[in-house]
Amino acid sequence: MATASVAPTAHPASASKITVTWTALNVTYPDRVATVVLSDSAALISLFTEISGSAPAVTDGTNKTPGSKTYEWDGVRVFVWAGWPTRVWFTKPSLGGANVSAPGNVSVGATKQAVVAANADAKLVSSGEGTDLWAVDAHEVPGTKSIQDPNQTGQAFVTFVVKSDVVTEILAPGDDYTEL
């Protein structure tokens, strides 16, 4: 299902909530809800600049990610690399006064138990060295193959990064068909 991004408009600090899905951010304003698709990096950068009230710190890619850029504000970063899905990481429960939550109304700072209790489809996709990655709201992505099981179609999802049983990051989209 293709969804068009709605360009953010001048509502400085008036957004009250950002809801993260595997394909988009739904931003709640007093008078409307705007949807910004995750594949529209320019709209994401504009949105976060508007909500945070500041320009991002921009970092060029490394040897492993030549041509990529990371845009970072206090509590969120956007990774853009041609040919790869744009990725958004939230590292705080709010941005510029807007509360950030993902499926199950779970935010950074919640417990692993809250992730599992609020999301019947929660699946542990990786674990090691005190960090667990939980996938929720998974959807098959036609034309891709799962790295873990090449006989399966790849999936995209919202990822909760959990350290010491606490959500420290929300990533969208996460997937099981790229190695970023």
**Does residue 19 contact residue 26 with C-beta atoms inside 8 Å?**
yes
H-run or E-run covering 80: strand 76-80
Cα–Cα–Cα angle for 11, 58, 175, nearest 5°? 85
Contacts of 39 (CB under 8 A, 6+ apart): 23, 85, 86
- Distance between CA atoms of 78 and 141, rounded to whole angstroms? 21
**Does residue 163 contact residue 112 with C-beta atoms inside 8 Å?**
no
Residue type, position 111, single letter? T
**Does residue 12 contact residue 50 with C-beta atoms inside 8 Å?**
yes
**CA-based torsion, 126, 132, 135, 141: positive or negative:** negative
**How high is the pLDDT of residue 85?**
87
For each of the chain's 180 residues, which pLDDT tens digit applies? 334 444 444 445 489 999 999 999 999 999 999 999 999 999 999 999 999 999 999 999 877 888 899 999 999 999 998 888 899 999 999 999 999 999 999 999 999 999 999 888 888 888 888 899 999 999 999 999 999 889 999 999 999 999 999 999 999 999 999 875
**How high is the pLDDT of residue 66?**
85
Q: What is the pTM of this model?
A: 0.87
